[in-house]
C-alpha cells in the first residue's frame, strides 16, 4: 500500500475563515494527499506529526485560496484591443461589437494561451478555484479539453462548460451541446479533483425552446449536471423572454423543466418579482459580478433581497480580472453608492458573500471535500500574504483588514492540493515569460482577424 503524501504548512499567521473563523498567530496545517486533516498551533502540529515535510510560511498571513464564482478564461486576448466600430451604447452592442466577434475568431491555440494567461494571474492573485464559462464558435469540438489541459498544467481547480447558443445557427448550437455532454462524460471518468464539468448556456435571449429542450434531453445521459447560464444581465434578456414566451427568464426555465437540474444563475440584475420566489423555492444559486455590471452599465442586482430570502449569492469577476481581492472591495462600494447609504451591506453580509457563499457554489461541483476554509476535510488550497497589520488583527476584525489593507500584490505564496504553485512571488512550475510572449504573438494575430 502506497504511503500517504503528508505535509505541514506552518509557521504562519493563520486565519481559517469559513463558518467558524479562528486566528492562530503562529499556526500550522497538517495535510494528507491534498486534504487538510488538522489545524492548530505550530508547535502542537509539529509535535503531533513528526518527520513530516514542512512548508515554512515564514510568518506570512495564510488564508484559504479565493474562489471566483464566474469567469471567462477566453477573454484574456481582449485586453488593449481596439474595436472596429464606434463605442457600444448598450449591453447588446457590447456583445455584438466585442465579444461575439472575438469568440468567433478564437483557435484552439488561442484558447489554450488565453486560459494560461488567466490561470497564471489566478495563481499570482491568490485565486485557487474558478467557475468558467467558455465560448469559441470557430473551435468548439474539443475546446473544453484544451482548457482542461491548461487547468491541469496550472495546478488550480476549475469547473468548465461550453456556452450553448443559437446565434450561430442550429448546427453550432448542437455542436455546443455535444461538447458539453462529451466533456461531462469525460469528467465522470476523471479520478481528479482539479477539473469538473457543467452544462453551459449563453442566455435566454440567444437560446430557443428547441435548443433548451435538446440540452435538457441530453443532460439525462450524464445525470444532473449543473446548468451554468447568464440570467437577465441586461433588461434586454428579460424583455426578450417576456415578449417571446410570456414570462421572464427564471420563470421560463422553470416552465421548461430546467429547474429539475441544479442551476448556477449568473448576474440576475433585472429579476421580476415572481423570480425571487422561484430562485428560493428551487434552490438556485446566483453569482453576482459587480465590477462587470458597472463596466457594462447594466444596473445593480438586488442581492441583499436575495440573501434576505435565503438565496445563496456568490461573487464572480466575469472575466474582467482574476483578482478576487479587487472584486471584494468593489462589492460594498457599488451597493453603498447605489443606495446612497453607507450602512448598506453590513460586514456580516459582506463576510457571507465574500467568504462563505462561493463555498456553497463549489458544493455543486466538488462533492468530496470543502473549499474556502482551513479546516479538517477541506482541500489544502491556501495562499500566504505579506501583510503586516498596523493595528491589532483578530478573527473578529479580519474583514476590515482585508477590505482596507490587503490587495493581490501582497500574495507571496499559493498552494493548491498541498502543492506550492508560487513561492516568493515566483511561479514554481510554469515558464511565465515564454507563455506571455506567445500570448502576445497570438493576440496580435487574433486582433487582425477580429
- What's the domain count of the chain? 2
In-domain check, residue 294: yes
pLDDT value of residue 145: 98
In-domain check, residue 448: no
Together in a domain, 156 and 296: yes
- Identify the domain containing residue 386 by its residue range: 6-65+370-426
Together in a domain, 269 and 378: no
Together in a domain, 203 and 325: yes
- Cell numbers for 1, please give them: 500500500
Are the C-beta atoms of residues 14 and 45 closer than 8 Å to each other? no
Together in a domain, 328 and 241: yes
The rounded distance, in Å, linking the Cα atoms of 202 and 12 is 43
pLDDT value of residue 1: 33
| Domain's final residue, options 335, 362, 389 | 362
- Cell numbers for 27, please give them: 499556526
Low-confidence ranges of the chain (pLDDT < 70): 1-4
In-domain check, residue 435: no
pLDDT value of residue 268: 98
> For position 409, which CATH number holds?
2.30.40.10
pLDDT value of residue 79: 96
pLDDT value of residue 3: 52
| Domain's final residue, options 329, 362, 395 | 362
Together in a domain, 347 and 387: no
Together in a domain, 157 and 291: yes
In-domain check, residue 357: yes
pLDDT value of residue 2: 44
HSE-CB of 127 using CA atoms within 13 angstroms: 33
| Domain's final residue, options 362, 395, 410 | 362
Give the tens place of pLDDT for each residue, 363-376: 999 988 899 999 99
Q: What angle is formed at CA 49 by the lines to CA 52 and CA 35, rounded to 5 degrees?
A: 75
pLDDT value of residue 119: 98
pTM of the model: 0.97
In-domain check, residue 436: no
> For position 83, which CATH number holds?
3.20.20.140
pLDDT value of residue 33: 95
Amino acid at each position: 500500500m502506497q504511503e500517504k503524501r503528508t505535509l505541514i504548512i506552518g509557521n504562519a499567521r493563520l486565519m481559517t475563515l469559513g463558518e467558524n473563523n479562528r486566528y492562530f498567530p503562529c499556526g500550522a496545517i497538517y495535510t494528507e494527499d491534498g486534504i487538510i486533516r488538522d489545524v492548530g498551533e505550530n508547535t502542537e502540529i509539529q509535535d503531533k506529526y513528526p518527520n513530516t515535510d514542512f512548508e515554512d510560511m515564514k510568518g506570512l498571513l495564510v488564508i484559504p485560496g479565493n474562489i471566483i464564482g464566474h469567469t471567462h478564461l477566453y477573454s484574456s486576448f481582449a485586453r488593449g484591443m481596439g474595436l472596429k466600430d464606434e463605442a457600444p451604447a448598450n449591453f447588446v452592442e457590447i456583445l455584438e461589437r466585442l465579444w461575439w466577434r472575438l469568440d468567433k475568431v478564437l483557435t484552439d491555440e488561442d484558447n489554450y494561451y488565453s486560459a494560461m494567461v488567466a490561470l497564471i494571474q489566478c495563481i499570482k492573485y491568490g485565486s485557487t478555484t474558478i467557475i468558467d464559462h467558455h465560448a469559441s464558435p470557430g473551435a468548439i469540438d474539443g475546446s473544453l479539453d484544451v482548457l482542461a489541459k491548461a487547468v491541469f498544467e496550472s495546478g488550480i481547480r476549475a469547473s468548465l462548460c461550453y456556452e450553448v447558443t443559437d446565434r450561430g445557427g442550429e448546427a453550432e448550437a448542437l455542436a455546443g451541446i455535444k461538447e458539453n455532454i462529451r466533456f461531462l462524460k469525460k469528467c465522470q471518468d476523471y479520478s481528479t479533483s482539479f477539473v469538473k464539468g457543467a452544462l453551459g448556456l449563453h442566455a435566454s435571449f440567444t437560446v430557443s425552446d428547441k435548443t433548451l429542450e435538446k440540452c435538457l434531453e441530453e443532460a439525462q445521459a450524464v445525470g444532473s449536471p449543473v446548468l451554468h447560464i447568464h440570467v437577465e444581465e441586461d433588461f434586454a434578456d428579460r424583455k426578450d423572454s417576456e415578449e417571446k414566451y410570456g414570462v421572464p427568464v427564471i420563470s421560463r426555465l422553470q416552465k421548461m423543466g430546467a429547474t429539475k437540474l441544479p442551476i448556477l444563475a449568473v448576474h440576475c440584475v433585472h429579476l421580476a418579482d415572481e423570480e425571487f420566489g422561484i430562485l428560493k423555492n428551487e434552490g438556485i444559486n446566483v453569482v453576482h459580478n459587480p465590477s462587470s455590471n458597472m463596466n457594462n452599465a447594466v444596473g445593480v442586482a438586488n442581492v441583499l433581497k436575495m440573501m434576505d430570502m435565503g438565496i445563496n449569492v456568490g461573487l464572480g469577476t466575469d472575466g474582467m480580472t482574476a483578482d478576487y481581492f479587487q472584486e471584494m472591495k468593489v462589492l460594498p462600494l457599488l451597493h453603498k453608492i447605489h443606495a446612497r447609504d453607507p450602512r448598506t451591506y453590513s460586514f456580516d453580509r459582506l463576510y457571507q458573500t465574500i467568504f462563505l457563499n462561493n463555498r456553497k457554489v463549489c458544493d455543486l461541483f466538488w462533492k468530496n471535500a470543502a473549499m474556502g476554509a482551513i479546516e479538517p476535510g477541506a482541500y489544502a488550497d491556501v495562499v500566504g500574504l505579506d501583510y503586516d497589520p498596523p493595528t491589532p488583527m483578530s478573527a473578529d476584525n479580519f474583514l476590515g483588514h482585508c477590505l482596507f489593507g490587503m490587495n493581490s500584490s501582497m500574495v507571496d505564496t499559493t498552494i493548491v492540493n498541498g502543492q506550492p504553485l508560487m513561492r516568493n512571488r515566483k511561479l514554481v512550475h510554469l515558464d511565465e515569460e515564454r507563455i506571455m510572449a506567445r500570448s502576445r504573438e497570438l493576440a496580435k494575430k487574433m486582433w487582425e482577424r477580429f
